[in-house]
Amino acid sequence: MEKGPGVEPKRVVAIFYFFAAVVVGIFLEKILALGLSYARLNDVAVLGDDWTLSTLLGYGIAAVLAVLAWRSPRVNAVSMQVAQELERVSWPNLRETRASTVAVVVFTFVAAFLLGIFDVVWSRLSSLVY
């Protein structure tokens, strides 16, 4: 296995926290918008038409959670350990990945064919009984 140039674990963890905050922000935005609609409150536009109160609250809460997770010594230590372990993983190259993919696709077709034969046989036997 080839070992390419690595990225420092702290950068990988920071990028993960950023993308996790974005995903959590989207989730919280939808939940807050739903909660406001159930409470029959207007989700007022704060910054233009796209940035509503639920959007700002959702992304704000997600950003605060990401910063708190980054600043927490235990969470940060575990994140760094995970990133360091991922550096030690030997990833397959393109040739190995292609061979594995072909094997999975071929096996899937063989399994589907065999299950199709079993299904036809079972339906014929069932039609004779019922």
What pLDDT is stored for residue 2 in this prediction? 46
Q: What is the chain's mean pLDDT, rounded?
A: 88
Measure the CA–CA gap between 90 and 92, rounded to whole angstroms. Answer: 7
Q: How many CA atoms lie within 13 A of 19 on its CB side?
A: 5
8 A C-beta contact, residue 54 and residue 102: no
Structure tokens at 109: 């077709």
pLDDT in tens, 14-37: 889 999 999 999 999 999 989 888
8 A C-beta contact, residue 12 and residue 78: no
pLDDT in tens, 67-81: 998 899 999 899 989
Number of H helices, E strands in the chain: 4, 2
